[in-house]
Chain A
Amino acid sequence: MTVRASRTRLEGWGRYPNVDGVELRSEDLGEITREATLSRGLARSYGDSSLPAGPDALVANTTLADRFLAFDPETGVLRAEAGVSLGEINRVFLRRNWFVPVTPGTQYVTLGGMVASDVHGKNHHVDGCFGEHVRSLRLRLADGSIVDCSEEDAPELFRATIGGMGLTGHVLEVEFRMARIPSAWIFGESERIANLDAMIEGLKRAAESWPMTVGWIDCLAGGRRLGRGILMKGRWATADEAPAKPPRPKRRLSVPFDFPGWVISRWSIRAFNWLYYRKHVPRVKRGLVHPESFFYPLDAINDWNRIYGKQGFFQYQCVLPHADDNGPARRFLDRFLRQGGVSFLSVIKDCGREGKGILSFPRPGISIALDVPIRAGRLAVSPSGEKSRLSGELRAQALVDRLNELVLAEGGRIYLTKDAFTRPEHFRAMEPRLEAFGEIRARWDPEKKLASAQSVRLLGDRP
Chain B
Amino acid sequence: MFKSIWRIFFALVITLLMAGSVIAAPPPIKIGALFSVSGPAAPLGEPERNTAQMLVNEINKAGGIKGRQLELIVIDTQGDATKAVQGVNKLIKDDKVVAIIGPSTTGESMAILNIVEKAEIPLITCAAGSKITDPVKKWIFKTAQNDILAVARIFEYLKKQKINKIALLTVSDGFGSSGREQLVLQSKEAGFQIISDETYGPKDTDMTAQLTKIRGGEAQAIICWGTNPGPAIVARNVKQLGIKLPLFMSHGVSSKKFIELAGDVAEGIILPSGRVIVANQMSNKEPQKKKLLSYINSYSKLYNVEGDHFGGHAWDAMMLLKGAIEKGGDNPAAIRDQLEKTKKFAGIGGTFSYSPQDHAGLTKDAFVLVQVKNQAWTLVK
State whether these chains interact: no
Chain A interface (Cβ within 8 Å of chain B)? none
Chain B interface (Cβ within 8 Å of chain A)? none
